[in-house]
Chains A and B, each alone.
Chain A
């Protein structure tokens, strides 16, 4: 095979591999992802057994601890609709009432069960526009 043809073959192989990888990537990302929803969106309609990424604020006074399991409610950033969550797993130091959290949940009956170690609590006072009154 002359060098030019060899090079063209190599290019085709490389491009095909790249396209395959990109295709696999794109395909799996749609099936492996969990939809991000706010509490009101979640309450509006959540299929049992599907994972959702719930984002919202922890409702004041709703945090209860039973052993290593936490029960708390997550409400819309600016709203009242609240979702009850049952969660076992790592909890950040910053987790407390009023904080913004992200947690992956699955509906089981009437409750939403949080996936282990999926609770992310946002750092509170960095780069916000409004001044927080508490801290």
Chain B
């Protein structure tokens, strides 16, 4: 089976190389048959990588430990869902996933656009297959997922329990979809610049590609934040870690692009800016892919020196060099058709938005790479922490939300100043009322958070006003009932109202971020059963008693769980019961670990107990004190080691089971004080709700307009009929 995988990967590499050559030849010699052949190569690549991926998945699902990656990332006791997902928890498997997704998205997009942008296609195909060549080459010549072990062991090392969470398993495919999708507008931008055609057709297509990539990347980032908050033992959702930043960078520049491309569409302006922006976003996506596996920056995710560093640096260097060369050499085709008419126009607002977003991207980039920059400049490696990032991103975020509130009120081209002023009345009132209402709640001590609440309220006011006025205008034209009017309004103005929904979602999200950062109460305490901890705002948490249990699956003992039962009260009234726990996973495939000790010295993961709500989340995690238990375990290990050869297996197993059971039960009866991390965090749910609204808005924008698609097809067919008739 491994041979099949290796063969398919090699074929993928070969066909990618062929496709690059065929595409380039077809483009330069203006030969449509070669271009079609290159496009077919992309389809074939998708088929081959799907085959290779299936081979890898099957190996994991069948626990075929002759595969080196299966042995080191899975085990017979890993649940089936996680066995399937373990395929991409390894370096090699994740590269295959990346290649597979790239080929899949490329095939779909190239098929859908096969009749359009015929002059750009050859070069776009060559670029996409160039990426495929790189990744396939890595797998063929450097790190293959299909490496085998000389002797297939009986058991595998197992999947890191930290990764045993649905979010964590969907997060990589979503992120990789986001990264690979940015390759497509990058490729089409390169093609458009090569043939000097950065006009209407290219703009329309690229905008949709970029929106799709933005959508998936955004989901990937959100899932990562959600996983961090709900699963990890620190109760935060964003740490400005280099790897988090790496995924945020292309998202920021991509958001800027989605706005500024509309200015180019309407006024033929910002052509150089847009070309540079989309090329930079594609490069940042590859940079992000590289950072996670490079080890060049100290991060919670990046590890070890990887052999892949140099190839990636070369690829990124080529992309930067190529992009700069293209933009500079095509600057005549990128000349602006018009200039900015007035600062009081939506074009100017979009320009402002771009400046803020690119500013943010620069801050994040600088902070992330600062250790390398400072080392290069001063010889000492310096690193920056969250407070530095917050100092700059918070004011920039305020500016961004403000712009999203001002923008919708300003018309395209040139707004009427009198009308604009009048249109701000209600939103300003909303903002002011919010400010006044919040002041008595002691919010004034956090001026930045207060500013965000006020500005976000203003933005929400603007968007609501837009919806209300839009419905009113529609009803004036057609007399429809309000709900129907709303639906048709959105349906007929997808871009605008989809965009407004996204802005609404972002405002809600920022409110949640501001509230949960500025007004969080965190307590790290040691408690005995019966003790209570006050949390502020009337909340109190009482440690009722310790809990413990053994989780057994078909394959045996999955983990030992030790925890606590807590009662949450507010102002004396009982609200809920929280049961935070810690799961201890046994060490797999390690015969030298003690018979009982292997259950206690493996990985442990926190199982958070949380009461989420619109108003606030109460979050709890426990670290039980197992020291007394461990002393007994040590004695047990010695006993069982001596008894290993002397008892029949069945008796040995039974005795082992009884011993473990006894230890687990005794924790319940007599537990030393445990350490608790308790957090009361206001409005965290708003972050997730805001995120959902953003994605809903993106879907509205992405939804194709039926009539436009049909009309476009009719036009091209009509033209083709005319041509064919002339030729026959």
A and B in direct contact, judged by CB atoms within 8 A = yes
Residues of A bordering B, CB below 8 Å: 3, 7, 10, 14, 18, 21-22, 25-26, 28-30, 32-37, 53, 55, 65, 67-68, 88-94, 100, 102, 104, 117-118, 120-131, 133-135
Q: Does B306 contact A (CB under 8 A)?
A: yes
Closest to A88 in B: B524
Min CB distance B643 to A, Å, is 24
A130: B residues at CB distance < 8 A? 304
Q: Does B487 contact A (CB under 8 A)?
A: no
B371 lies within 8 A of A36 (CB): yes
Closest to A51 in B: B385
Known A26-B366, A89-B524, A126-B301: A33·B162 in contact at CB below 8 Å: no
A68: B residues at CB distance < 8 A? 524-526, 675
Min CB distance A102 to B, Å, is 5
Closest to B380 in A: A35
B158: A residues at CB distance < 8 A? 135
Closest to A126 in B: B303
Known A22-B362, A126-B301, A135-B603: A30·B524 in contact at CB below 8 Å: no
A134 to B157, CA, bound (A): 9
B623 lies within 8 A of A33 (CB): no
A7 lies within 8 A of B625 (CB): no
A91: B residues at CB distance < 8 A? 233, 623
Known A33-B382, A126-B160: A93·B303 in contact at CB below 8 Å: no
Min CB distance A90 to B, Å, is 4
A89 to B236, CA, bound (A): 13
A133 to B590, CA, bound (A): 8
Min CB distance A11 to B, Å, is 10
- Cross-interface CB contact of A135 among B157, B387, B391, cutoff 8 Å: B157
Q: List 8 A-B contacts (CB under 8 A).
A: A29-B374, A55-B298, A67-B526, A68-B526, A93-B162, A122-B303, A128-B303, A130-B304
A93 lies within 8 A of B232 (CB): yes
Task: Apart from A32-B391, A68-B675, A125-B160, list 19 A-B contacts with CB within 8 A.
Answer: A10-B343, A25-B392, A28-B391, A33-B370, A35-B381, A36-B381, A55-B298, A65-B625, A67-B675, A92-B300, A93-B232, A93-B605, A117-B234, A120-B241, A125-B73, A126-B303, A127-B306, A133-B590, A135-B160
B234 lies within 8 A of A90 (CB): yes
B366 lies within 8 A of A3 (CB): no
A126: B residues at CB distance < 8 A? 89, 160, 301, 303
B239: A residues at CB distance < 8 A? 120
B387 lies within 8 A of A32 (CB): yes
Closest to A4 in B: B339
Residues 222-254 of chain B: 1 if any A CB is under 8 Å from the residue's CB, otherwise 0?
Answer: 000000000011110001010000000000000
A74 to B387, CA, bound (A): 25
Min CB distance A24 to B, Å, is 8
Min CB distance A16 to B, Å, is 13
A3 to B338, CA, bound (A): 12
A34 lies within 8 A of B385 (CB): yes
A34 to B387, CA, bound (A): 12
B111: A residues at CB distance < 8 A? none
Closest 7 CB pairs of A and B: A33-B382, A36-B381, A128-B304, A90-B234, A127-B91, A32-B388, A33-B384
- Cross-interface CB contact of B306 among A120, A122, A129, A133, cutoff 8 Å: A129
A36 to B90, CA, bound (A): 28
A122 lies within 8 A of B343 (CB): no
A52 to B303, CA, bound (A): 21
Min CB distance A22 to B, Å, is 7
B91 lies within 8 A of A29 (CB): no
A53 to B384, CA, bound (A): 9
A129 to B162, CA, bound (A): 20
- Cross-interface CB contact of A104 among B157, B160, B385, B593, cutoff 8 Å: B385
B388: A residues at CB distance < 8 A? 28-29, 32-33
B234 lies within 8 A of A92 (CB): yes
Min CB distance A79 to B, Å, is 16
Closest to A115 in B: B385
A10 to B602, CA, bound (A): 62
A134: B residues at CB distance < 8 A? 587, 590, 593
B366 lies within 8 A of A29 (CB): yes
B233 lies within 8 A of A29 (CB): no
Q: Does B383 contact A (CB under 8 A)?
A: yes
| Complex interface residues of chain B between 395 and 445 (CB less than 8 A to chain A) | none
Q: Does B340 contact A (CB under 8 A)?
A: yes
- Cross-interface CB contact of B304 among A30, A67, A127, cutoff 8 Å: A127
A127 to B158, CA, bound (A): 14
Q: Does B367 contact A (CB under 8 A)?
A: yes
B384: A residues at CB distance < 8 A? 29, 32-33
- Which of A25, A34, A127, A128 has the most C-beta atoms of chain B within 10 angstroms of its own C-beta? A127
A33 lies within 8 A of B374 (CB): yes
A14 to B352, CA, bound (A): 10
Q: Does B355 contact A (CB under 8 A)?
A: yes
B303 lies within 8 A of A100 (CB): yes
B91: A residues at CB distance < 8 A? 127
- Which of A35, A104, A118, A133 has the most C-beta atoms of chain B within 10 angstroms of its own C-beta? A35
Known A7-B339, A53-B383: A123·B370 in contact at CB below 8 Å: no
- Cross-interface CB contact of B162 among A34, A88, A123, A128, cutoff 8 Å: A123
A93 lies within 8 A of B677 (CB): no
B524 lies within 8 A of A25 (CB): no
Residues 62-84 of chain B: 1 if any A CB is under 8 Å from the residue's CB, otherwise 0?
Answer: 00000000001100000000000
- Which of A30, A93, A123 has the most C-beta atoms of chain B within 10 angstroms of its own C-beta? A93
A53 to B158, CA, bound (A): 32
A30 lies within 8 A of B374 (CB): yes
| Complex interface residues of chain B between 547 and 563 (CB less than 8 A to chain A) | none
Q: Does B606 contact A (CB under 8 A)?
A: yes
A88 to B525, CA, bound (A): 11
A86 to B683, CA, bound (A): 33
A132 to B604, CA, bound (A): 17
| Complex interface residues of chain B between 349 and 383 (CB less than 8 A to chain A) | 355, 359, 362-363, 366-367, 370-371, 374, 380-383
Q: Does B305 contact A (CB under 8 A)?
A: yes
B382 lies within 8 A of A21 (CB): no
Min CB distance B411 to A, Å, is 19
A129 to B307, CA, bound (A): 8
A121 lies within 8 A of B300 (CB): yes
Min CB distance B145 to A, Å, is 13
Min CB distance A53 to B, Å, is 5
A102: B residues at CB distance < 8 A? 298, 300
B587 lies within 8 A of A129 (CB): no
B305 lies within 8 A of A92 (CB): no
B303 lies within 8 A of A118 (CB): no
A57 to B67, CA, bound (A): 30
A53 to B385, CA, bound (A): 10
Known A90-B524, A93-B604: A34·B300 in contact at CB below 8 Å: no
B387: A residues at CB distance < 8 A? 32
- Which of A3, A36, A130, A133 has the most C-beta atoms of chain B within 10 angstroms of its own C-beta? A36
A123 lies within 8 A of B300 (CB): yes
Closest to B384 in A: A33
B359: A residues at CB distance < 8 A? 18, 21
- Which of B301, B355, B381, B625 has the most C-beta atoms of chain A within 10 angstroms of its own C-beta? B381
A29: B residues at CB distance < 8 A? 366-367, 370, 374, 382, 384, 388
- Cross-interface CB contact of B233 among A26, A88, A90, A118, cutoff 8 Å: A90
B298 lies within 8 A of A36 (CB): yes
Q: Does B494 contact A (CB under 8 A)?
A: no
B72 lies within 8 A of A92 (CB): no
